[in-house]
């Protein structure tokens, strides 16, 4: 079912999400389906469970809509349950980030250029995978949501001042989205 996306200022986005109980197969199937359907209609490239009001460590990334810019993202779709960063590179990369929970705001953010993540897939299998380039960025961005962290927390102080009014407007509901959204 398509869920509303919680916007900047919503308490759920600032909470550290809890691990998902892998024995709850029915609950997992429902949550994953909701994430997929909501992501599809919102035209994003990733969505974490807290963004639909569920404080659990589940996320989806889908780079297939970006193959015109990043051809290596063809077929790049991941559902990650209880992901954990095993290792991050010392080298960093800067990309412009945006977020469905912070509509209309884009900022350059520096993050590790690659990382190794251990997670469970939809079948309940443990997977260890290395991510780099923009795939790494998508996973990092969504994993940050699981820790109550948002990309605007990583921008330079002067940039944060520049976007402050936009953030206040979002947090007070003075924003328009083409997808269902809410602040709570």
Q: What is the pLDDT of residues 29-84, one digit of tens each?
A: 999 999 999 999 999 999 999 999 999 999 999 999 999 999 999 999 999 999 99
Helix (H, G, I), strand (E, B) or coil at 84: strand
Both structure tokens of 30: 């429902």
Tell me the average pLDDT across 169-175. Answer: 95
SS3 129: strand
State yes or no: pLDDT of 184 exceeds 90.
Answer: no
Mean pLDDT throughout 148-153? 97
Half-sphere exposure of 182 (CA within 13 A, CB side): 9
Longest dimension (CA), the chain: 46
The reported pTM is 0.95
Whether the pLDDT of residue 26 is over 90: the answer is: yes
Using an 8 Å Cβ cutoff, are 33 and 1 in contact? yes
> Which residue do the tokens 């993202």 mark?
73
Q: Using CA atoms, how far apart are residues 101 and 177, in angstroms rounded to an integer?
A: 10
DSSP 3-state of 62: strand
**Average pLDDT of the residues in 135-153:** 97
Is 97 in the active site? no
Residue 123 is classified by DSSP as T
Distance CA 81, CA 144 (A): 14
């Amino acid at each position: 079912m398509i869920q509303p996306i919680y916007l900047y200022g919503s308490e759920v986005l600032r909470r550290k999400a809890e691990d998902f109980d892998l024995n709850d197969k029915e609950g997992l199937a429902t949550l994953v389906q909701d994430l997929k359907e909501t992501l599809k209609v919102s035209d994003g490239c990733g969505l974490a469970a807290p963004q639909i009001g569920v404080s659990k460590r589940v996320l989806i990334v889908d780079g297939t809509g970006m193959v015109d810019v990043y051809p290596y993202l063809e077929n790049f779709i991941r559902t990650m349950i209880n992901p954990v960063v095993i290792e991050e590179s010392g080298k960093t990369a800067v990309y412009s980030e945006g977020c469905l929970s912070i509509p209309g705001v884009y900022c350059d953010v520096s993050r590790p250029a690659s990382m190794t993540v251990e997670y469970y897939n939809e079948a309940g299998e443990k997977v260890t995978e290395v991510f780099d380039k923009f795939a790494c960025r998508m996973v990092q961005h969504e994993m940050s949501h699981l820790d109550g962290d948002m990309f605007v927390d990583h921008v330079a102080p002067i940039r944060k001042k520049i976007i402050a009014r936009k953030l206040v407007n979002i947090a007070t509901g003075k924003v328009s989205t083409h997808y269902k959204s809410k602040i709570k």
